[in-house]
A and B are shown apart, each in its own frame.
Chain A
């Protein structure tokens, strides 16, 4: 956390947000003590304008923090602002509504906003916890180097099969076919996990096949088994890494689409309240 964007410049944006939040709360308490709080009052409208402006800024921050070449501020500063100002919306928008909610498009817009912010918080925690675990798996082999390694292993297997019995060739072909016909499983890997100890299962599977291998090919089978187990080991490592990488990405599949839907809902909200 020492260099984390959360503590960027001694938590500059944290304190800025806290100061704004305290100011908002004090103002709201005064406002609520003077009149009935609702979105259409002068103060309510100001809260609404501020909230809309904040949403626009936050969405720009989402773009800016991926724009490496921009010279306006540091990337860490933008991310820090994105986090803390995003949390601030959870206070500002209910103040705009006078903390009244219902089963309507207005509350829907806020619920979507809350989902966006909370998914951001989830992403924040994921980014704090997953990279360390990912690094441990990467110590074995980095993900992008596993596929070439597997390709090399398959190449070695193919070279090994030259002039060997059909039984061995079938094992190789089955392995090749299994590697070629994989369906995308990013989400199932994330949600369901690896599905057990694949390495042990593969080892047991190979042990069962030993009896079917001619004695003349036993030595070759042992080498093939080692290659297959190495391949499986690499695949398991890749699965672990990709599961963690997917976890780092998955929250964005909520954060980004829901933020776009939220903007649309805010548009519906504005049309509805300004229509009458």
Chain B
């Protein structure tokens, strides 16, 4: 059983019929949209009536409104059995009942009853309807569209193209925000980024070419500028690239490119950023530096080759210091920041140590009261020794000074055809003795702070012809395994490699850092060759006669200028924190470099760990922890160590 509803609707003066089939045994009638037959007039109740088919197949009408407003054949009913030809009236709707087929559906022809005629001028109801007003829905829509259209035209006419931009431009680009063509040289799909060429119109190409680590390992082509510097996307400063852009690759670099060495996945500083890593030189300097994380205690070591006891310096007795006329030592008495206050300058002996330590190295006990200058280049040092010894000799032998100039021996030069003079012999022997003292590990001259290391090189003999200066290699005491059989030594200070030698190399490394910020004091070496030989008649001009030799030099001072070369740091910014000074009292550096006061060996790496940094640098509640707060993307290529070039071996983890 079912129902068929034929609805007659007067539409534009024409009566139309629409048919609706309603399956089931019940037909609900009312104004509510849940009804099978909806009578929209508000005078009809939400659920007004229903017709159901009983077990005998009769259709029964029931008024469910309880308002006594349902009529069948003009008689008010609450419930009635419907027959063919009946007319139901619900308010002004007339429902004509028919059932052409006794087993077929009940057909209801629905039409509205004719209303009583009212003189139009007297009709109040139409004048109270909204549709009678001036503002119809279509007119309102038209006005709104016109307003949008006019607003767009006016904005274009006034050159206010911002209203069409999908988001404001960054601050620096706002000057030409209304000149879209400056960046958008051509129409591109909305999902494409602006070409680099547009950026390079104004920005220098060397800046734009991102010499990033990934470029160093020859990964995929560099991303477009606009893919990281998102314009129109709410960034006020385009350089402030959001972390998400970094994490897009660093979240899983392996997934981006299988050729990437074992770089740890990073999603955020406080999430999974690996422990900081320093770079250690490998014995083979051609090999890339070894990246060692601060939590890798087995490998973590300062290879600076400069001996220093931090604990001793920080615990010097006050009365001792008062005698010296200096205040108690703090870290900043020796470690001085650069002009910007960001980094510590490399330690300079002359500047940072001579406040307490003598600036020159005395030659006692060989020549008490005489000293050589610290940090001189080897050749200069030898000349200085020769001059000192020559002066001492002439002081003791004034007759030599009275000789005519052409008969006098001048250090470093013997007159043609002349035998070795006493003065020359004295100077050469003395120089050898002096060098022996300087490089003595017992007397603690040079080796008090520096170390000696083996060195293979052709020596230049510098001893008297009659006697090879016997120099027991005291420097080898710690390195006997690397020495040839002990014998005699020769010391040599070759002028080689570069101008950055000796202690002065530290200054040179500072200059290097200024030029490019490289992490290492490149070329910092003070080389002293200590040659052992069994041959006592060494021809000073014949290097081939040196038979058995082991050579040493003062180890290259290799204190990193910037311990964490792939990040930026600003000491000055941290110095402003009151809690640091409060916690560190007089020496607030130790608040972060907390191991410094107890560090006995210079091999200790005294950098604070990432855990300490995270106590302040947090995502939301603390100091900034974005990638860019420490790292740069456009790293100048010069600064990148060769560690990022695959060397064929299994690479160590590298910090992001």
Which residues on A are within 8 Å of B, measured CB to CB? 3-5, 8, 33-36, 38-42, 45, 65, 68-69, 71, 75-76, 79, 98, 100, 102-106, 108, 112, 131, 134-135, 138-139, 142-148, 150-151, 154, 179-180, 182-187, 189-190, 235, 238-239, 242-243, 245-246, 249-250, 252-253, 256-258, 260-261, 264-265, 268, 272-276
Contacts and interface: CB of A to CB of B under 8 A. Distances in A.
Given A68-B38, A138-B43, A147-B118, 5 more contacts: A134-B42, A146-B124, A184-B127, A185-B127, A186-B127
Interface string B162-175: 11111110000000
Nearest to A270: B190
B81 interface: no
Contacts of B132: 184, 186
Q: Which of A79, A112, A138 has the most CB of B within 10 A?
A: A138
A258 B144 contact: yes
Nearest to A32: B244
B336 to A, nearest CB: 42
Interface residues of B, number: 72
B127 A138 contact: no
B190 A40 contact: yes
Contacts of B165: 104, 272
B324 interface: no
Contact of B125 (A41, A75, A147): A147
Given A3-B32, A131-B46, A151-B118, A246 B130 contact: yes
B115 interface: yes
B64 to A, nearest CB: 12
Contacts of A142: 43, 91
Contacts of A71: 20-21
Given A150-B124, A180-B121, A182-B124, A260 B42 contact: no
A245 B125 CA distance: 11
Given A105-B152, A180-B122, A256-B141, A144 B115 contact: yes
Nearest to B7: A68
Contact of A253 (B135, B152, B242, B244): B135
Q: Which of B7, B38, B116 has the most CB of A within 10 A?
A: B116
A145 B127 CA distance: 15
B190 A273 contact: yes
Contacts of B166: 38-40, 104, 106, 272-273
Contacts of B19: 69
B128 A260 contact: no
A143 B163 contact: no
A11 to B, nearest CB: 13
A186 B167 contact: no
A253 B230 contact: no
Interface stretch (B180-188, B282-290, B527-535): B180-188
B154 interface: no
Given A105-B163, A273-B190, A184 B233 contact: no
Nearest to B5: A68
Interface in B102-144: 115-119, 121-125, 127-133, 135, 137-138, 140-141, 143-144
Contacts of B91: 142
Contacts of B119: 151
Contact of B130 (A45, A250, A261): A250
Contacts of A260: 141, 144-145
Nearest to A239: B128
Contacts of B187: 275-276
Q: Which of B7, B125, B128, B140 has the most CB of A within 10 A?
A: B128
B32 to A, nearest CB: 6
Nearest to A7: B34
Contact of B163 (A68, A104, A135): A104
Interface of B: 7, 9, 18-21, 31-34, 38, 41-43, 45-47, 67, 91-92, 115-119, 121-125, 127-133, 135, 137-138, 140-141, 143-145, 148-149, 152, 162-168, 180, 184, 187-191, 230, 232-234, 242, 244-245, 247-248, 251
Given A38-B230, A100-B167, A147 B122 contact: yes
A243 B145 CA distance: 29
Contacts of B167: 38, 100, 102, 104
A151 B163 CA distance: 57
Given A272-B166, A276-B184, A36 B128 contact: no
B168 A148 contact: no
Contacts of B45: 135
Given A142-B91, A265-B148, A148 B118 contact: yes
Contacts of B47: 3
Contact of A36 (B7, B38, B124, B233): B233
B124 A257 contact: no
Q: Chain A contact residues: over half helix, strand or loop, or mixed? A: helix
Given A104-B165, A179-B122, A143 B43 contact: yes
In the complex, the 10 A-B pairs of residues with the closest C-beta atoms, listed nearest first? A261-B144, A148-B116, A257-B141, A257-B140, A69-B18, A242-B128, A3-B34, A260-B141, A184-B132, A272-B164
Given A76-B34, A102-B168, A108 B148 contact: yes
A182 B127 contact: yes
Contacts of A75: 33, 38
B230 A186 contact: no
Contacts of A151: 116, 118-119, 122
A144 B125 contact: yes
21 contacts: A36-B242, A41-B191, A45-B191, A69-B19, A112-B144, A134-B42, A139-B67, A144-B115, A144-B125, A147-B124, A180-B122, A187-B130, A187-B133, A238-B128, A242-B128, A246-B128, A249-B130, A250-B130, A256-B137, A261-B141, A264-B149
B125 A242 contact: yes
A10 B34 CA distance: 13
A245 B42 CA distance: 8
Given A138-B43, A261-B144, A40 B191 contact: yes
B440 to A, nearest CB: 64
Given A144-B43, A180-B122, A242-B128, A104 B145 contact: no
A34 B162 contact: no
Nearest to A138: B43
A134 B43 CA distance: 9
Nearest to A190: B130
B233 A98 contact: yes
Contacts of B9: 68
Contacts of B133: 184, 186-187
A253 B34 contact: no
A250 B144 CA distance: 17
Given A34-B244, A34-B248, A187-B133, A104 B125 contact: no
Nearest to B267: A33
Nearest to B36: A74
A210 B309 CA distance: 120
A59 B19 CA distance: 24
A148 B128 contact: no
B36 to A, nearest CB: 9
Q: Which of A68, A189, A235 has the most CB of B within 10 A?
A: A68
